[in-house]
Amino acid sequence: MKKALVHDWFYTHAGAENVVQSITNVWDDFDFYSLIDFLNDEDRKAVLKGKHCTTSFIQKFPTAKSNHRKFLQWFPRAIESLDVSQYDVVISSSSSVAKGVLTHQNQLHICYCHSPMRYAWNLYFEYLKSKGLERGIKGWYAQKVLHYIRQWDVISTPRVDYFIANSKYIAQRIKKIYNREATVIYPPVNTDVFTLENDKEEYYIAASRLVAYKRIDVIVEAFSNLPNKKLIVVGDGPEMKKLKKLAKKNVQFVGKADQKAMIVYLQKAKALVFAADEDFGILPVEAQSCGTPVIAFQKGGLLETVIDGETGVFFDRQTPEAIETAIAAFESMKFSPELIRKNALRFSRDRFEKELNAFVTEKINEFYPWKKDILNT
């Protein structure tokens, strides 16, 4: 039985690529397809078991490596240019267009949906505002492209036989946008690497790509109003200059960190502060895996991963004042690192791989009843 895995793009090793890595841990005989493939050798070995992808024509576009998103208007045509018609099983890993790969009635297509396209749906107005595309000729063109993208996104939905969502929050979004049910299988968190540390230091941590929707700005503002509390900001991105202007001396920017450094930062932190409306949020689970509590915005996937008063504290508005209040409440409470880690173990990589294997094997047996249990288990 021939199997293809279609991913939006391979240019970094982040949360979505961790999902792909776990999928290839379950089945090691995929052929890979993607809009682009610019992984370095180390990430290719980890995520794709050293294999290369078949890519779309966007791979050859100038600046595709540095900024593939500028070719958004070509994404639907590019993903449809990938010929996967010879495969029995297609698994797509999609937060953009991978789910829209062309499949026919004799193929089983299962989509692991990280989210329907955020910039076209739930973050549409925020995206336009952050890019200065609310008005003018460029704004008109961007809005026209995104209108087309939304139409294509809905039209391409029937190409998927079964949706898997990475959280109940995303399952609700899939239902709202696509009118399709989705089975929830939480993404894999490497709890074997992010290990327990009981000895905490006197600093808080915020970490992410420094882009607007992650709302690192309100965290930095909150700590700038709390000069006796130290905040370490890990990450890089287009918001860096803006954030440094907001920061006081108690806020330290350390840039992008590799996994080894990130583990230490999370293990030693007093708490992770997280202000994004996240689909699932792997980082807060990694922090909990280290026994580190989370001070988090009370929305999205974190409602499924953080237990208020037990593994963290919630705040209900993305404002500096709400975060300051949450920090004060946090410091009046006691937390058990062992209990916090126990909560994180619910999202382990081993659990993900077993649940995914069971789901896919069941659907294959239903779709190909004459080829029972043909996948490697």
Q: In the sheet where 53-55 sits, what is the strand order?
A: 53-55, 30-34, 3-7, 89-94, 108-113, 162-165, 182-184
Domain pair 3-114+156-188+348-371 / 204-347, same fold: yes
Q: How far is CA 141 from the centre of its chain?
A: 28
According to DSSP H, which parts of 30-93 are helical? 41-48, 75-80
Predicted TM-score (pTM) of this structure = 0.90
Q: How far apart are CA 20 and CA 123, in angstroms?
A: 25
Domain 3-114+156-188+348-371 has CATH 3.40.50: yes
Q: Please, is 317 exposed, middle or buried when counting C-beta atoms within 10 Å of its C-beta (0-12, 13-18, 19+)? A: middle
Percentages helix, strand, coil for the chain (3-state, rounded to 5) are 45, 15, 40
Distances in Å between the Cα of 98 and the Cα atoms of 6, 161, 180 are 6, 14, 17
Write the single-letter amino acid at 281: G
Q: Where are the beta strands (DSSP E) in 103-203?
A: 108-113, 162-165, 182-184
Residue spans of the domains in the chain: they are 3-114+156-188+348-371, 204-347
CATH architecture of 204-347: 3-Layer(aba) Sandwich (3.40)
Question: 194: how many CB neighbours lie within 10 A of its CB?
Answer: 24
How does pLDDT run along the chain (377 residues), one tens digit per residue?
899 999 999 998 888 999 999 999 999 999 999 999 999 999 999 999 999 999 999 999 999 998 898 999 999 999 999 999 999 999 999 999 999 999 999 999 999 999 999 999 998 998 898 888 899 999 999 999 999 999 999 999 999 999 999 999 999 999 999 999 999 999 999 999 999 999 999 999 999 989 888 999 999 999 999 999 999 999 998 899 999 999 999 999 999 998 899 999 999 999 999 999 999 999 999 999 999 999 999 999 999 999 999 999 999 999 999 999 999 999 999 999 999 999 999 999 999 999 999 999 999 999 988 765 555 54
Question: 153: how many CB neighbours lie within 10 A of its CB?
Answer: 21
